[in-house]
Amino acid sequence: MNAPLRRVTVPIEGRAYEVVVGLGAVAELPSLLPPTAKRIAVVSQEGVPVQIETTLPHEVFCIGQGEQHKTLATVGDLCRGFARMGLTRNDVVVGVGGGMVTDVAGFAAASYHRGVPVVHVSTTLLGMIDAAIGGKTGVNLPEGKNLVGAFWQPSGVICDLDALTTLPEREVRCGYGEMAKYHFLTGDDLLALDLTDRVARCVEIKAEVVASDEREGGRRAILNYGHTLAHALEIATEHRLAHGEAVAIGLIFAAHLANELGRIDIARVDEHFEVVGVAYGLATDIPRGLDADRLLDLMRKDKKALDGLTFVLDGPAGVEVVPGVADEPVLAALARML
């Protein structure tokens, strides 16, 4: 018998919604659909192993694989498809896939008829604990990733852990990179939890942060723990390092930097290694051949940097945004890892 499903509420004022987590959770989809929905536009990808069972009339729209398809053109095609099937504002879009599908389906839903409800059925670990939660949707431009988008909260989210059995190993690793981050955002011992409870707890942590700062005015930035070096590594390796792999290294760097700044002791740095390198088995070294000055330069240009070099760092008051960090401790932390 499967472990019981977990239900987590994302407590956004006036638009709270449920996330259902567990094996077989997709069977709960009907309970998350708006009662007004008479038709469903399903947005998915070839190779996503989850099918939606519904008695409502529906049409499935398959979008391409990979970031090069995360575009306004794809959103345009979807909206034209919605129009042809006669989708109205009372109906619903259901995104079935990883973060790419839920970002694109969410943005198409936010735009079509100036907003139709959307439900996400997340099928990757990264999607379940991150992308499908919190209402950020969007697409890429040739000028940069996720440059066009909208905040559009879903009406509900399904995290069916059955989907993870077919997930390629590298995608699992990427999910672990983001999951490792949650270990440091609260004092919880996430390793003591089974997968259903751990995914549910990650969702709960993200939900609480998002509800306190829906539009990323401040606190939501702590979700970027480990991401400043990660973004630089993705660019410096021309995306040979995937996002979650880069976050894993970025978490270790953030710990070293916090230690350089006297914010955490070496035992806490070791805890980062224990979680990232040992528990999740992720690579924690900066790849060979990368240069500290180049990484420093890329971090200075990070779009989330408000005041010179800005980092999200652990410390006596927990993880928080630390602006105006000098070059020297950053270079010293990098030197420990290069």
Q: Which residues bind ligand NAD (CB under 6 A)?
A: 45, 47-49, 65, 67, 70, 97-101, 103, 123-124, 126-127, 130-131, 134, 136, 146, 163, 166-167, 171, 174
Q: Say whether 114 is catalytic.
A: yes
Q: Closest-CB residue for ligand NAD?
A: 99
Tokens (6 digits) for 273: 């290694």
Tokens (6 digits) for 108: 């198409």
- Cα–Cα distance measured from residue 224 to residue 119, given in angstroms and rounded to the nearest whole number: 24
Q: Which residue number, 159 or 264, has a Cβ lying nearer to ligand NAD?
A: 159
CA distances from 93 to 80, 101, 257 (A): 13, 12, 43
Q: CA angle at residue 189 from 225 to 24, to 5 degrees?
A: 90
Q: How far is the CB of 34 from ligand NAD (least distance, A)?
A: 21
Q: Say whether 220 is catalytic.
A: yes
Catalytic residue among 220, 245, 259, 260: 220
Distance of CA 300 to the CA centre of its chain: 23
Catalytic residue among 208, 216, 271, 320: 216
Q: How far is the CB of 151 from ligand NAD (least distance, A)?
A: 10
Residue found by looking up tokens 């070059």 in the block: 327
Q: Say whether 7 is catalytic.
A: no
Q: Say whether 58 is catalytic.
A: no
Is 79:112 a contact under the CB 8 Å cutoff? yes
Q: How far is the CB of 131 from ligand NAD (least distance, A)?
A: 4
Q: Say whether 274 is catalytic.
A: no
- Cα–Cα distance measured from residue 323 to residue 338, given in angstroms and rounded to the nearest whole number: 24
Q: How far is the CB of 119 from ligand NAD (least distance, A)?
A: 15
- For residue 189, give the DSSP letter: -
Tokens (6 digits) for 136: 């950020």
Catalytic residue among 6, 70, 136, 198: 136
Q: Which residue number, 99 or 329, has a Cβ lying nearer to ligand NAD?
A: 99
Catalytic residue among 6, 181, 231, 256: 231
Is 74:62 a contact under the CB 8 Å cutoff? no
> Which active-site residues does the annotation give?
114, 136, 178, 206, 216, 220, 224, 227, 231, 243
